[in-house]
Structure 1
């Protein structure tokens, strides 16, 4: 990897690096996508070939039926020879089961190759199999077509790649190369001492902005050189005025230098101390010398740029002075320190004041740590300046964190990361900015408002994750900031909080129950819609596939006949066979496309109804037939059938989506529960018109029936006898709700074990507007228990 990086740095031109990145990237990307594309293309060609051979086999099986029955050998051979005209076929076999005959093309040794695929179809005459047609084919044509496409595509991609590289190099030269050369020339001129020469180039792109910044930098360097000279004069005056000294230590040469103010700080004359590291080390306090020297050596190894140290040095009169040493390191490209420069100041008075203050704080801290109440003080800058151990315990913060004077906002952030606030998103500490000056007169501000000072006391309670309840009292301080006390009030608040939590849990459970009811009903609708979509895919695929196959076969036969006509070799038998094939293919195409169109319209109406709650007028018989048609794929997987007994012309003004859901659930319930495995059952939907503008719909099956002890429970939610086999217990409960609420009717069930089950629905032809649509219900009842008249079915 190091060699690659070094070789990359040695590339002499940006354009060369650009090509090294662009060309491999384009080649790899194009190669990858081309491989994926041609792999999918080859799979498509194979699938198309299989479909074409299957269609040829299907159509010619019908064409050979009469010839085999009459044993017309010449006609059979003509058909076989016509089939062999397809380039994909390598061998054709036709067996005559009645006469034990065999017809083969191109010769008796069929197949000719071991890698041939086979399509075999029986030849039937009035449901009697009289023979078999077997087609052997390979994928040579598909591979040849794919090979030609690969060659053409490769040539096109190479031309595009060459054009792209040429255009990219031209654009790189115009946009990068020319301004970059001018910038390099300006930099080299400055390095040779020829002055600060700006680059003559103006553009709005990135290089233009770089050159503009370079020219601005040159102008700024000129100004800074003049300012530097003035700054050096001011620095000398500042050192003298602040009673500090400046020192410099060159690590490469070992030379140590300090300004004349350093000996004065310790009571020495300007020339009494030799400028060496040994002199500086000899003045250090014996108790601190080893640590200060170790820190000094550490500065040479670490990566920090600035240092600060406070230590004691001996004065000329023997007393000890506290010296604050501030240093800055200059490092080379490898990070090694080459030079240290800094200042030394006498801070004896400040250190003594800090020591006295620390002693007083220790006494106060011991006193506060022995109280049972947590106490926290925050200054006007928002920093924790004092806290006892009890406060650290109740805040669940390590004492050393509070001892480090953190910002109170950081303490709150640490608590939040530890999960101290839990689900209490309304805790004041999450929204108020404590201790920040302002004039709004409030305890704090919201997240989108300016924060203000705390000028009034306030109190709130907080629940800890371990269950303890802490009362928090906050009182403002006149100089800014606040004092906070924390008291454990778990025992006092536990009883009241338990009652409050119990009430909240009850309300949440009630709300969850209502939401679960709505979600389960919607899930059942989506399941029915998924079943309908599967039916669409299955039902429409078959007629469209047959129509496509017939059209493909007809096209192939037309081409073959046209070639025979052009060569002048067309015979009457071939024309007759073509006319028969064309007639049959056209009939099949028209019949299957008409069937597909009818299925699409039917499925479209049922799908729209099941995914909406629109009310409309519809013919009951036609709609029931559409619903049963949508269930066709599911019914065909079993041996069970559904019959409809309904008079035409019964018009309904109701909700077809709800009715479709009811019929679907009843059919699926019967398929799941009513019939034993490997049985053949029947279901009947019987419709009668009633004199009071109602219709009676009876759904009956001849299954095993429902035990008497389960009959009163079938409409109850979650009641099922198939709990471990995928039953949810909601199918009939949803049926009950849709009939009684959406359709405004009644439902009952009757069953005798071993003698089937009958559901009876009485619904108005003109549905009433549901209550939920006219006025909102403040508290809808979740999963109302039905009380049907004594009739039932197999529980879902």
Structure 2
């Protein structure tokens, strides 16, 4: 009786037992096809399904899914039950498993549709399965490649940030060395003058204690004391200016505080220690600084930008060592902005160099020890720290012109 019932159901469901052409189309379809009974038995299986799943018709036809594919039985029963209850198809369900004859993981996407009798009753569920193993593997490889690329990019950015910080510290070191060199001169001179004054004072005191002070000795000592005092004041004032420039501009940009300062005075102090090096190279450093330019900004980053630009011109504008002119213009640009222009009459830049000038690690003098981070640091500090903008113009043989616009009141840092 049970066998007769199965045969009757199969006859009701399978619509082409007497139509060889339809049977051939079903069996040669490029995707796997199967027909399941409401109680999840295989009523029909095409040739493609046996190929992609590694199964045979003889071992599955008429048998329950739970007996043939135990791992998928619960999911299949749930989908079939949903279709029987709602009458709605279930499409795009991805299935992961193994072929019956292989251990490797495979992927299929399946589509489930109700099969109705002429009266409208759902008598079975048609299943279409397309193997997407290669696509899933390609997606997995692409995801792994993307993850590897993102990791490499993150590490590159970390390396770049560390190198940029190293370049900032190197610039700070150059400034410290320059200030130390400038301070050493006046302090050394002051020490010599003070030592001379001390010896003269001791000699004069000896004459006074012996009661043999002559008018000429007194006049000589007074004159010497006056000259020594004047020289001490001049030298110590010069040293104080250099120390002040160091205090104003050598702060680390990450820790610099927002405060008011005179941009012209700071610029003059910062560039004073580069003037000696410019003269040594035959470069004239011209400063045109509008006075009374008060800014509420970050003096450390401001000084770093200015120093970088002048040193960049010193390094790159005259590769043949011929020397020339660097001009620094600082002026007001309206009520709430300041304009800083650093220009030179050197060799200029060809278009490709100009295009890449602010790129990290780009330099035309790597064999001379350049890192290619100077202008990149300038761009980052100007745009990110000082809230300004920067423009570079240059032509071969016509020098280089760098124009910066800063707000008088810099945006507050979130650091």
* Alignment TM-score > 0.5, same fold: yes
Residue 531 of structure 1 aligns to a residue in which SS? Answer: helix
1:594 corresponds to 2:237: yes
Structure 2 counterparts to residues 189-228 of structure 1, below 5 A: none
How large is the Cα RMSD of the aligned pairs? 2.8
Which position in structure 1 is the counterpart of 2:396? 753
Which position in structure 2 is the counterpart of 1:532? 175
Out of 158, 161, 164, the position equivalent to 1:518 is 161
Contact kept? 1:535, 1:632, Cα under 8 Å: no
Out of 281, 285, 302, the position equivalent to 1:642 is 285
Tell me how far apart the structure 1 counterparts of residues 211 and 296 of structure 2 sit (CA, whole Å).
67
Tell me how far apart the structure 1 counterparts of residues 256 and 312 of structure 2 sit (CA, whole Å).
23
Residue 687 of structure 1 aligns to a residue in which SS? Answer: strand
Which position in structure 2 is the counterpart of 1:722? 365
Structure 2 counterparts to residues 291-690 of structure 1, below 5 A: 502-567=145-210, 570-608=213-251, 610=253, 612-632=255-275, 634-635=277-278, 637-690=280-333
Tell me how far apart the structure 1 counterparts of residues 184 and 406 of structure 2 sit (CA, whole Å).
37
Tell me how far apart the structure 1 counterparts of residues 339 and 355 of structure 2 sit (CA, whole Å).
22
* Deviations 1:95-146 (CA, angstroms, capped at 9, x unpaired): xxxxxxxxxxxxxxxxxxxxxxxxxxxxxxxxxxxxxxxxxxxxxxxxxxxx
Higher relative contact order (CA 8 A, sep 6+): 2
In structure 2, the CA distance between the partners of 1:495 and 1:630, relative to structure 1 (3 Å rule), is same
1:706 corresponds to 2:360: no
Tell me how far apart the structure 1 counterparts of residues 245 and 158 of structure 2 sit (CA, whole Å).
33
In structure 2, the CA distance between the partners of 1:732 and 1:573, relative to structure 1 (3 Å rule), is same
* Deviations 1:139-158 (CA, angstroms, capped at 9, x unpaired): xxxxxxxxxxxxxxxxxxxx
In the alignment, structure 2 segments of 5+ residues that lack a partner are: 1-136
Tell me how far apart the structure 1 counterparts of residues 351 and 154 of structure 2 sit (CA, whole Å).
35
Out of 726, 735, 745, the position equivalent to 2:378 is 735
In structure 2, the CA distance between the partners of 1:583 and 1:700, relative to structure 1 (3 Å rule), is same
In structure 2, the CA distance between the partners of 1:602 and 1:729, relative to structure 1 (3 Å rule), is closer
* Deviations 1:574-596 (CA, angstroms, capped at 9, x unpaired): 33333322221122122222322
Q: Greater CA radius of gyration, 1 or 2?
A: 1
Contact kept? 1:531, 1:631, Cα under 8 Å: no
Residue 362 of structure 2 aligns to a residue in which SS? Answer: coil
In structure 2, the CA distance between the partners of 1:563 and 1:521, relative to structure 1 (3 Å rule), is same
Tell me how far apart the structure 2 counterparts of residues 584 and 613 of structure 1 sit (CA, whole Å).
41
Q: Report how far residue 667 of structure 1 moved.
A: 1.0
Contact kept? 2:275, 2:285, Cα under 8 Å: no
Tell me how far apart the structure 1 counterparts of residues 189 and 254 of structure 2 sit (CA, whole Å).
31
Structure 2 counterparts to residues 266-281 of structure 1, below 5 A: none
Q: Report how far residue 674 of structure 1 moved.
A: 0.5
Report the TM-score when normalising by structure 1.
Answer: 0.33
* Deviations 1:379-432 (CA, angstroms, capped at 9, x unpaired): xxxxxxxxxxxxxxxxxxxxxxxxxxxxxxxxxxxxxxxxxxxxxxxxxxxxxx
Report the TM-score when normalising by structure 2.
Answer: 0.60
Q: Report how far residue 502 of structure 1 moved.
A: 3.7
Q: Report how far residue 554 of structure 1 moved.
A: 1.5
Tell me how far apart the structure 2 counterparts of residues 515 and 724 of structure 1 sit (CA, whole Å).
25
Tell me how far apart the structure 2 counterparts of residues 561 and 768 of structure 1 sit (CA, whole Å).
61
Q: Report how far residue 637 of structure 1 moved.
A: 4.4
Residue 748 of structure 1 aligns to a residue in which SS? Answer: strand
* Deviations 1:8-56 (CA, angstroms, capped at 9, x unpaired): xxxxxxxxxxxxxxxxxxxxxxxxxxxxxxxxxxxxxxxxxxxxxxxxx
In structure 2, the CA distance between the partners of 1:677 and 1:565, relative to structure 1 (3 Å rule), is farther
Which position in structure 2 is the counterpart of 1:78? none
Contact kept? 1:529, 1:610, Cα under 8 Å: no
In structure 2, the CA distance between the partners of 1:611 and 1:503, relative to structure 1 (3 Å rule), is closer
Out of 325, 336, 339, the position equivalent to 1:693 is 336
Tell me how far apart the structure 1 counterparts of residues 356 and 268 of structure 2 sit (CA, whole Å).
30
The count of residues paired between Structure 1 and Structure 2 equals 279
Which position in structure 1 is the counterpart of 2:121? none
Contact kept? 2:258, 2:412, Cα under 8 Å: no
In structure 2, the CA distance between the partners of 1:573 and 1:518, relative to structure 1 (3 Å rule), is same
In structure 2, the CA distance between the partners of 1:715 and 1:592, relative to structure 1 (3 Å rule), is same
Residue 686 of structure 1 aligns to a residue in which SS? Answer: strand
Tell me how far apart the structure 2 counterparts of residues 679 and 723 of structure 1 sit (CA, whole Å).
20
